[in-house]
Amino acid sequence: MTVASPDVAARLARLRVEHAGAIRQARLFVWTFARSASAMVGLVLVLAFLVLAAGGPSIVPYPDDATGAMNLAARLQPPSGAHWFGTDEMGNDILTRVVVGTRTSLWVGLIITGVAALIGVPLGVAAGYLGGAVRQVIMRVTDVFLSVPGLVLAIAIVAALGSGVLNGVIALSLVWWPGYVRLIEAKTLTIKHEPFVEAARAVGASRRRILFIHLLPNCFSPLIVKMSMDMGLAILAAASLGFIGLGAKPPAPEWGAMISVARTYMPTWWWYAFFPGLFIYLTVLGFNLFGDGLRDVLDPRASRS
C-alpha cells in the first residue's frame, strides 16, 4: 500500500490533468441543472421511483398482498395508519401494490424506449448519412408509421398477439421507434455538413470513422433527452393498455390494470383509483421535468429560442 501510493497518486494527478476539461464540463452540467427548480423536482421524483423500484417487495408493509392475497375482512378500507393508501376490494394494501407496481412500470418504460432507440437510431443515421434512395425509403416508411396513432396501432398488434404485459411491451416498442428515426435523421443531416466532419474527410477518415467518432457521439445529447422524456410517456401508454385490459392482467400489481378494476368503485372508494393514478401522474411528470432539465444542460441551443 505504502509502496504503491506515490505511483497511484501520480497516475491520479495525470488523470486529473488529462480529464480536466471533462471535469469542468461535468461541474458546469451539475451547476446548470441544479439552478432549475423544476429539473431538481424531476430528478427527485425519478430518484424516488428508482428507489421504490429497487426496494420493491422488500420495503412494502404487506409483501403478500403484492401478488393478490385474499383478506376480505379488510376490504375497501379508507386510508389509515395501518393502510396509508387504503385497501382494495380483496383487502390488499394499495400502498404495497402501487410500490411493487413501480418496478414493472419502470422496466416497461425502459424496454420500450430502449428498443425504440435501438431500432430508430441505426435507421435514422442510415437515412441521414447515406441519403438518396435509402433515405427516401426509410423516411417514407417512418411517415406511414407516424401517420397512424401509436396507441391504436399497438392495440391492433396486441389484439393479434394476445394480451399480456410482454405482448404489450412488444407492441408499444414496435410503434415507438419512428420518433427516433426523425430525431436522429435530422441531427445527422445537420452534423454531416459541419466543418469538423469535412475536416475529418479532408484527412482521409473512413466512413466508419466519421460515423462512430464524429456523428454518433454528437447525437447522444438529444437522444438522451428524448429517451428520458419518453420514459414517462411509455409508462403512461403501457398503463393505458393495462387499463383497457390488453396489458397486465389483475391481480398483477400494474397501475393501469389496478385503475381498470378500480373505476367500478368510483367515486365512493376513491382512493382505490386515486393512488395508482397519482403514481402514473408523478412518474410522467418526473421524467418530463427531468428530461427538460437535461435538455437545458446537454442541448442548450434547443431550449434557448
Partner 1 sequence: MSLLEVVDYSLAFDGFEGTHQVLDAIDLAVDVGETVGLVGETGCGKSVLAKSLLKLNDIPPARILSGSIRFDGRDLLALDETALRAIRGGGIAMIFQDPMTFLNPVFSIGDQMAEVIRARDRADNRKRGARDVRAAAAALLAAVRLPDAAALLDRYPHELSGGMRQRVLIAMALAGHARLLVADEPTTALDVTIQSQVLALLADLVAAQGLTLLLISHDLGVIGALCRRIVVMYAGTIVEDAPAAQLFDRPLHPYTQGLLAAVPDIGRPERRLAGIPGSIPNLLAPPAGCRFHPRCPLAIERCRRERPALRRIAAGQRVACHLAEPV
Partner 2 sequence: MTALVEAVGLTKHYAVRHGWRRHGALRAVDGIDLTVPEGAAVGLVGESGCGKSTVARLLLRLVEPTAGTVRFAGRDITGLDELGLRPLRREMQLIFQNPHAALNPRRTLFASIAEPLVIQAGLGGAALRARVEHLMDDVGLPAQFLWRYPHELSGGQKQRVCIARALALEPRLVILDEPTSALDVSVQAQILAFLAELRARRGLTYLLISHNLAVVRQVCDEVAVMYLGRIVEHGPVAEVFAAPRHPYTRALLAAVLPPRAGALPTVALAGDPPSALELSRGCRFAPRCPLAEPVCRPTDPALDPVSHDHRVACLLARRAPASPSTA
Q: Which residues bind partner 1 (CB under 8 A)?
A: 27-28, 31-32
| Residues 6+ away with beta carbon under 8 Å from 27 | none
Measured from the CB of residue 20, what is the shortest distance to partner 1 in angstroms?
14
Q: Which is nearer to partner 1, 35 or 207 (CB)?
A: 35
Q: Give, as ranges, the residues between 21 and 50 that touch partner 2 (CB under 8 A).
A: 21-22, 24-25
Least distance to partner 1, CB of residue 81, Å: 47
CA 100-101-105 angle, 5° bins? 135
| Residue 133 site contact among partner 2, partner 1, none (CB < 5 to 8 Å, cut-off depends on kind) | none
Query: What crossing angle do the helices spanning 94-130 and 255-262 adopt, rounded to 10°?
Result: 130
The secondary structure of residue 78, as a DSSP letter, is P
Per the CB < 8 A criterion, the answer to whether 140 and 157 are in contact is no
- Taking CB under 8 A as the rule, does residue 130 contact partner 2? no
Encode burial over 96-128: b for 16+ CB neighbours within 10 A, e otherwise.
bbbbbbbbbbbebbbbbbebbbebbbebbbbbb
Distance between CA 203 and CA 21 in Å, rounded?
25
- Ranges within 185-244 binding partner 2 (CB under 8 A): 194-196, 198-207, 209, 213-214, 217-218
Phi and psi of 93, rounded to 5°? -70, 120
Smallest separation (angstroms) from partner 2 to the CB of 22: 8
- Cell numbers given for 213: 467518432
Q: How far is the CB of 23 from partner 2 (least distance, A)?
A: 10
For the chain, where are the E strands, in sequence order?
none
Interacting partner of 115 out of partner 1, partner 2, none (Cβ under 5 to 8 A depending on kind): none
Amino acid identity of 231? M
Cβ proximity to partner 1, 32 vs 71, nearer residue: 32
207 vs 263 by CB, closer to partner 2 = 207
Q: Is 162 in the site for partner 2 (CB under 8 A)?
A: no
In the bound state with partner 1, the residue whose beta carbon lies nearer, of 27 and 263, is 27
**Residues 29 and 297 sit within 8 Å (Cβ to Cβ):** yes
CB of 32 to partner 1, least distance (A): 7
In the bound state with partner 2, the residue whose beta carbon lies nearer, of 72 and 301, is 301
Number of H helices, E strands in the chain: 14, 0
State the minimum distance, in angstroms, from the CB of residue 300 to partner 1. Answer: 12
Could you say which of partner 2, partner 1, none residue 31 binds, taking C-beta under 5 to 8 angstroms by partner kind? partner 1
Name the residue nearer to partner 2 (CB basis): 18 or 267. 18
Q: Which residue has the cell 383509483?
A: 273
Nearest distance from C-beta of residue 118 to partner 2, angstroms = 21
Residue 33 or 274 with smaller CB distance to partner 1: 33
**Cβ contact 40:34 at 8 Å:** yes
Chain residues that interact with partner 2, rule: CB under 8 A: 17-22, 24-25, 194-196, 198-207, 209, 213-214, 217-218
